[in-house]
DNA sequence: CCGGGCCTGCGG
DNA sequence: CCGCAGGCCCGG
């Protein structure tokens, strides 16, 4: 589900709610939700600990946690397709598919809810970090990430540009929605080989990636079905998608009919006129 | 590079 | 009932 803008919004909305809050106890309702650690060890390590900060790297959520005694912990979440993290009053009935509950000492709790159960929590250093976290590519919104960096990354790459954009070790945080939206804004066919893009196309794609991510964050992310932020609110960006999920509807720029293809094994939406092969 | 697997839910 | 879904890993 969540891509960079959604994970960023979850971090932004959880940060003020959690900073300084103390965990009274943790309930593990579904052991598979915790990677590499028994529910008992997970619960024991976090009891009495204090949340300090929430941040994001790629599609990973990072919680800085200070236990009652001992070294700081890092709690990492990947929400995959349908994972949600919300902070709510503990008295509220927990929805179906609630796998983890972090009860705070002020009557609220942080919940991890995930119907498809692809999402995972990793508690460092007790468990190994998720494999994908260390190998992540650059953050597309980092100030130090420049158009020239992006051009250098594309040079000599013969893969389809969409496959490359989805590769988290190439660039961190893009998923199926924002890859399609960025390619549309840049006027680039997703099937093109990365190394075949002109300098002008590379430049447009660089700007498009950053612009669409920034706009989506400003709108609180895209809710197609499951996504909500750390307060349980839906994002507003779905109304501003230009091609994603819009097969058969007119292109907002030229009126041609938007098509769906499969590229890199994923549903891919393009305007055949604005993104010529 | 592709396809399958992981799970559940939804829409056609 | 089947196909499909915002992600990622693995094996062939």
CA distance A23 to A39: 16
Question: Cα dihedral angle (A36, A40, A45, A51), rounded to 10 degrees?
Answer: 90
| pLDDT (tens digit per residue) in A35-89 | 999 999 999 999 999 999 999 999 999 999 999 888 999 999 999 999 999 999 9
Residue A32: Cβ within 10 Å count: 13
Taking only Cα atoms into account, the Rg of chain A, rounded to an integer number of angstroms, comes to: 20
Please determine, for residue A213, whether its predicted confidence score (pLDDT) is greater than 90: yes
Please determine, for residue A1, whether its predicted confidence score (pLDDT) is greater than 80: no
A194-217: average pLDDT: 98
Residue A27: Cβ within 10 Å count: 15
A241-269: average pLDDT: 96
Which of A 239-268 have CB under 7 A of nucleic chain C?
266-267
- Annotated active-site residue A147? The verdict is no
Residue with tokens 């399609």: A180
| pLDDT (tens digit per residue) in A111-164 | 999 999 999 999 999 999 999 999 999 999 999 999 999 999 999 999 999 999
What pTM value is reported for the model? 0.98
Nearest DNA or RNA nucleotide to A119 (CA to C1'): C7
Please determine, for residue A97, whether its predicted confidence score (pLDDT) is greater than 80: yes
Residue A202 burial class via C-beta count within 10 angstroms: exposed 0-12, middle 13-18, buried 19 and up? buried
3-class DSSP string for chain A: CCCHHHHHHHHHHHHHHHCCCEEEEEEECCHHHECCCCHHHHHHHHCCCEEEEEEEECCEEEEEEECCCCCCEEEEEECCCCEEEEEEECCCCCCCCEEEEEEECCCEEEEEEECCCCCEEEEECCCCCCHHHHCCCCCCCCCCCCHHHHHHHHCCCCCEHHHHHHCCCCCCCCCHHHHHHHHHHHCCCCCCEHHHCCHHHHHHHHHHHHHHHHHHHHCCCCCCCCCCCCCCCCCCHHHHCCCCCCCCCECCCCCCECEEEEECCEEEEECCCCCCC
CA distance A89 to A150: 44
Asked whether strand C has any atom less than 7 Å from the CB of A134, the reply is no
Q: Which nucleotides of strand B come closer than 7 angstroms to any CB of the protein?
A: 1-4, 6-10
Write down the mean pLDDT value for chain A: 97
Nearest DNA or RNA nucleotide to A225 (CA to C1'): C6
Enumerate the β-bridge partners of residue A257.
A250
């Amino acid at each position: 589900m969540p891509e960079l803008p959604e994970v960023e919004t979850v971090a932004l909305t959880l940060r003020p709610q959690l900073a300084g809050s103390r965990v009274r106890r943790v309930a593990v309702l579904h052991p598979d939700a915790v990677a590499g650690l028994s529910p008992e060890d997970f619960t024991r390590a976090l009891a009495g600990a204090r949340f300090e900060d929430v941040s994001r790297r790629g599609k990973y959520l990072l919680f800085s946690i200070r236990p009652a005694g001992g070294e700081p912990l890092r709690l990492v979440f990947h929400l995959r397709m349908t994972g949600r993290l919300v902070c709510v009053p503990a008295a509220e009935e927990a929805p179906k598919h609630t796998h983890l509950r972090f009860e705070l000492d002020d009557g609220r709790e942080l919940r991890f809810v995930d119907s498809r159960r692809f999402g995972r929590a990793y508690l460092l250093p007790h468990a190994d970090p998720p494999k994908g976290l260390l190998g992540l590519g650059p953050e597309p919104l980092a100030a130090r990430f420049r158009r020239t960096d992006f051009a250098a990354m594309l040079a000599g790459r013969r893969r389809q540009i969409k496959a490359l954009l989805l590769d988290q070790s190439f660039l961190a945080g893009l998923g199926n929605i924002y890859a399609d939206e960025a390619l549309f804004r840049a006027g680039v066919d997703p099937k093109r080989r990365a190394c075949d893009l002109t300098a002008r196309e590379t430049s447009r794609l660089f700007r498009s990636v950053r612009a669409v991510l920034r706009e989506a964050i400003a709108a609180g992310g895209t809710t197609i079905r499951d996504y909500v932020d750390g307060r349980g609110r839906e994002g507003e960006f779905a109304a501003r998608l230009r091609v994603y999920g819009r097969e058969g509807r007119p292109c907002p720029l030229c009126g041609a009919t938007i098509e769906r293809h499969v590229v890199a094994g994923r549903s891919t939406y393009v305007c055949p006129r604005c993104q010529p092969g």
